[in-house]
Copies of this chain bind each other. A is one copy, B any other.
Amino acid sequence: MINNFMTIADEKFSSILSKTSSFFNSADFYEKSDLVLLGIPMDYTASNIPGSRFAPKRIRELSYTLENYSPFFGDSIDEKFYDMGDLVMPWGNTDKSIKFINETAEKILCDGKKIIGIGGDHLVSYPVIKQYALKYEDLVVLQFDAHTDLREEWNNEKYSHATVLRLVYDIINKGNLFQFGIRSGSKEEFDFAKKHCHIYTNEVYEPLKRVIGSLAGKHVYLTIDIDVLDPAFAPGTGYIEAGGISSKELFDAVSLLLSEVQVVGADVVEVCPPTDNSDRTSAIAAKLIREIIIGMHANKKIKNF
């Protein structure tokens, strides 16, 4: 019943981070890379199926079944990032968890690094994006998701996977929230989205292609709720919502985005390994992370962001 964590060496994080394994080809030290991978295994606001807490660990495992080479970018992942391990979660204490995430994200951004987060449920994006919004005033948030996540409260709670993009909406400039692939939400959420956000239903690639020109030069944060994929492609998630996009469309969209736009932060959330015994949801997340890392690196190098 003991969590026997092997705490990492880095002093400033050691009290709240644990690390038992690494994403494949991680650099050895925090200092070696500008891109850091951070597991955030919080899943207790999940109102349907919990289990996204296991995502960071399982995604790391599945990373070892991948090649290190991306045919799209023509480059390899090798040591282009540092895997910091996972935040140690105070189970069942949401407020304290958000505080931990906030503090950690702040420190990393202070060090001039960029974060690639692995959820956990979607709520984990909020404290990370909050720090990004403080750093980049013009921050644009791109959401790939089945659900709007724009509720004002959920089950009388303000902090929830169902309210997270509304929380985000409130801390970034108006007009800077773009939603793609949305196919589920309440009437109120859709009304809000149509009025205040850029919402594109059912599809991701085509609408992204249309608007990508307008994102040039902006600082973009990409949050991918894995349920943007059809449950056929990603059965391991908290809420399965039929009618989603294919894995091909998702990779096409992510590749396009990383090639054309300055992505300064990203996360992959809502992967719930226990409900997918084929592990293909974790595998697709691992591949997304490989592409994001290689893409953000190329991006940085070539475009001199």
Contacts and interface: CB of A to CB of B under 8 A. Distances in A.
Interface of A: 1-4, 6, 20-22, 24-25, 43-51, 53, 63-69, 71, 74, 76, 88-94, 147, 155-157, 159-160, 162, 182-187, 190, 201-202, 230-233, 235-236, 239-244, 246-248, 251, 274-280, 283-284, 287
Given A45-B91, A50-B50, A71-B201, 6 more contacts: A2-B186, A4-B68, A93-B157, A230-B247, A244-B248, A246-B246
Given A20-B21, A66-B2, A230 B246 contact: yes
A90 B156 contact: yes
A47 B50 CA distance: 12
A25 to B, nearest CB: 6
Interface centre among A66, A91, A251, A284, by most chain B C-beta atoms within 10 angstroms, is A91
Contacts of A65: 1, 48, 239-240
A48 B54 CA distance: 9
B232 A242 contact: no
A182 B72 CA distance: 12
Contact of A51 (B50, B91, B183, B240): B50
Q: How many copies does the complex hold?
A: 6
List the 10 closest pairs (A to B, CB-CB), nearest first. A44-B44, A235-B278, A44-B92, A50-B50, A4-B24, A231-B280, A45-B92, A242-B284, A92-B94, A232-B232
B44 A91 contact: yes
B90 A278 contact: no
A251 B240 contact: no
A85 to B, nearest CB: 12
Contacts of A232: 230, 232-233, 246-247, 280
Which of A63, A69, A162 is the most central at the interface, judged by chain B CB atoms within 10 Å of its CB?
A69
A283 B242 contact: yes
Nearest to A5: B64
B20 A6 contact: no
Contacts of A274: 49, 51, 274-275
B231 A230 contact: no
Contacts of A51: 49-51, 274
A233 B230 contact: yes
Contacts of A184: 1, 66-67, 71
A276 B231 CA distance: 12
A4 to B, nearest CB: 4
